[in-house]
Amino acid sequence: MPSSSRILRGLAIKGWRTYYPRQEENEILAQEKEESSSPDELPEPEPPLPTREEIEEERKAILQQARREGEEQRRRILSEAQEEAVKLAEQARQEGYAKGYREGKTAAEKIKAEADELLEQAHQQREKILADAEPQILQIAVSLAEKLLNYELEVNENLIIGIVSRCLEALPGGREVIVRVNPRDEIVCRENADMLRRLLKKGAVLEIRGDAEVQPGCCKVDSEESEITFDLARELQILTGKLLELAESSGEAYVKDSPVAVQI
């Protein structure tokens, strides 16, 4: 195909141009030459005009070039638009992630603070309930202990021997010692009299007597110098009183120091 430079050489063609039949164009050019040239000058040879085939090829070449440039520009614009869309999407994702992270962190901290507060209130309420219930718990515990001791005394006859032994060991002295126990416990005490005598000072006389006024599991030890009484019920009452005093004092201290108790 002829190049554009060869076809358009010598012609001032801009845009589209209407071509007339070759004969008319030759006549017009010849007339212009005659008018512009002097009689003495010889006319210059005219450049060959492009044929219709050459003009058509040139037109096609221009169209193809325009299409190529348009396609390249379209691809470039599309690529730039895609890159910009990716950047905007990534920016939006990062901003959304950061915002969501901040909101989630704030919500988590709030939930944790509320949970800590509820846990502290529950702990304080639990302590108050225990402090309020401690006297009742102690009374129940003492009552159970008393029942267990009574049951043990009924089942284990030798338990009274331990109680009498403690009383004899605590006795300051005396030459004549009298041990009073419940008739139910008298037999086992007499059976262990020799062992009980060895707890007394040398030369002391031990006498064991049954006394219905003495409760089972209790004893009274008398000498000319002193008297010792072990009353299981009374000992349990004393223990219960001390434990209740301790519970009440700890409960009052809790009420005084507890902010939840003050609000209630």
Burial 41-71 (b: 16+ CB within 10 A, else e): eeeeeeeeebeeebbebbeeeeeeeeeeeee
Give the tens place of pLDDT for each residue, 7-54: 444 445 555 555 555 555 566 666 655 655 555 555 566 667 778 888
For residue 161, give the nearest of 134, 187, 200 by alpha carbon.
187
Burial 190-217 (b: 16+ CB within 10 A, else e): eebeeebeebbeeebebebeebeebbeb
Residue 191 has pLDDT above 90, yes or no: yes
- pLDDT at res. 210: 94
**Cβ neighbour number for residue 153 with a 10 Å cutoff:** 20
| 112, 114, 117, 119 alpha-carbon torsion, rounded to 10° | -70
Mean pLDDT across the chain, nearest whole number?
75
> What is the average pLDDT across 177-190?
93
| Superfamily (CATH H level) for 156-230 | ATP synthase, E subunit, C-terminal (3.30.2320.30)
Q: Which two tokens mark 140?
A: 């129940």
- pLDDT at res. 242: 77
For the chain, what are the domain ranges? 156-230
- pLDDT at res. 222: 92
For residue 34, give the nearest of 46, 21, 22, 23 by alpha carbon.
46
For residue 207, give the nearest of 221, 195, 217, 219 by alpha carbon.
221
Give the tens place of pLDDT for each residue, 123-174: 787 777 766 666 666 666 666 666 656 656 565 777 889 999 999 988 887 7
